[in-house]
Amino acid sequence: MCKVVAGEKESWIFMRKVIFVFFLMMAVVGTRGQGQPAQGKLAFEVASVHPSPALDMSKLAAQIQAGSMPRFGAHVDGTRAEYVYMSLKELVANAYGLKAYQVSGPAWLGSERFDIVAKMPDGSSKDDAPAMLRSLLEERFKLTAHSDKQEHPVLGLVVGKAGPKLKDGIAPATPPEPIDENAPLKPGEFRMQGPDGPIHITRNGDGTMTMNMGKNGIVTQKMDMQTQTMHMESSYVTMPGFADMLTNLMQMGGAGGPQVVDMTELKGNYQVALDFSLVDLMAMIRERAKEMGMTMPGGPAGGGGGATDNLPASGVTDPAGRSSVYASVEKLGLKLESRKAPVEQVMVESIEKTPTEN
């Protein structure tokens, strides 16, 4: 394994912050909307739509160091609905209660990003927001679309030949309580909004970060800069939930990344852990950034390349050249195989790049 010189080490410290921003951003923006749109024509009372400003990576890194996270994604609080730095593909997905990879349409749907601030009518509930967003897209972007379910190539999460090597999940001693958004933050803590409510993030003394998602469980992650790996684990997750977690990882590679579908037929909750290459992760993030029209921070001055140029290659990878996540999954006695499965999706028939004026 080659050594990382001082300049490269500084770049990796910066890149580690950027990785964390993007990892959380994709986890938030790529998840489902707040629910299936309600029946009937619901609409925001008033809404402001603007193209999202370009991201400043240095400012994002400074925000993380200050203990805060940018408010990417969908946020519904009372009668106020915000959609921050979301592509049209993600907005359509949210409006239909699906995920971005379940939306088919022009390639530019994933690159045109907008900020939306809207007021919901008094008496509205959070579950009404997707239907109101759909109405906004139809009115302001002239969206026409239809739902469909067709067979598509997917990655099937299946049990390996030797059987699963999973441990039973460790259930929490007490049911998780809702996270208090008004509670004061301690040093090393910050809070961000997820699709189902606030996520409380703690930067621990041992170098790990704990993401408390309330009723959705707790995920711990840690980067090891010596081995250039990321470790993620959850102590209580279902196989469909694990498949969803894997899909989010795959989707960091771009809008065309595969969906992972649970085909294990395993019931209950389990302990799972993943160890994968930061080189793989950076490659996925760089590809995603390119699709967004963004430039990732470069390597050391005079290096002529990215921060990963002189780092060791990733460890075991899938034979097709895909991510080391595959090898990590196999250690659990599971396997990712190319399959076909019916996938619910939204087919965008027409949509305008530029919304009508506010």
- Could you tell me the mean pLDDT of each successive run of 10 residues in the chain, 358 residues long? 48 53 50 49 94 81 64 84 91 88 86 94 91 96 92 89 92 72 74 64 82 74 82 88 78 61 91 86 65 48 36 42 79 92 90 90
Q: Where are the alpha helices (DSSP H) in 101-229?
A: 129-140
- Give residue 218's Cα distance to chain centre: 15
CA angle, residues 233, 76, 247, in degrees to nearest 5:
30
Among 186, 142, 161, CA closest to 334 = 161
Measured distance CA(294)–CA(98) in Å, rounded: 25
- Give residue 302's Cα distance to chain centre: 33
Q: Are strands 80-87 and 103-104 parallel, antiparallel or unpaired?
A: unpaired
Q: What is the pLDDT of residue 259?
A: 79
DSSP 270-319: EEEEEEEEHHHHHHHHHHHHHHTT----B-STTT-SBTTTTSPPPSS--T
Q: Which residue has the tokens 């996925």?
A: 284
What are the residues whose beta carbons fall under 8 Å from the beta carbon of 351, sequence distance 6 or more?
Answer: 88, 92, 105, 106, 109, 137, 141, 142, 143, 144, 145
Q: What is the pLDDT of residue 190?
A: 72
Edge-first strand order for the sheet with 229-237 is 167-168, 270-277, 229-237, 218-224, 209-212, 197-203, 189-194
CA 228 to each of CA 119, 149, 201, 284, 317: distance values in angstroms, whole numbers, following the listed order: 45, 40, 23, 15, 14
Q: Are strands 144-159 and 80-87 parallel, antiparallel or unpaired?
A: unpaired
Q: What is the pLDDT of residue 302?
A: 34
Beta bridge partners of 251: none
Q: Which residue has the tokens 């930061």?
A: 278
Q: What is the pLDDT of residue 37?
A: 45
Determine contact, residues 231/222, Cβ cutoff 8 Å.
Answer: yes
Count CA within 13 A, CB hemisphere, residue 298: 6
Q: What is the pLDDT of residue 67?
A: 58
Say how many C-beta atoms besides its own lie within 10 A of residue 84's C-beta: 19
Measured distance CA(195)–CA(75) in Å, rounded: 7
Q: What is the pLDDT of residue 119?
A: 96
Q: Tell me how far apart the terminal alpha carbons of the chain are, to the nearest angstrom.
A: 56
Q: What is the pLDDT of residue 32?
A: 52
Measured distance CA(140)–CA(11) in Å, rounded: 42
Q: Are strands 80-87 and 229-237 parallel, antiparallel or unpaired?
A: unpaired
Measured distance CA(300)–CA(4) in Å, rounded: 11
Q: What is the pLDDT of residue 300?
A: 36
Q: What is the pLDDT of residue 329?
A: 93
pLDDT tens across 152-162, in order?
888 899 999 99
Q: What is the pLDDT of residue 50?
A: 96
Say how many C-beta atoms besides its own lie within 10 A of residue 2's C-beta: 9
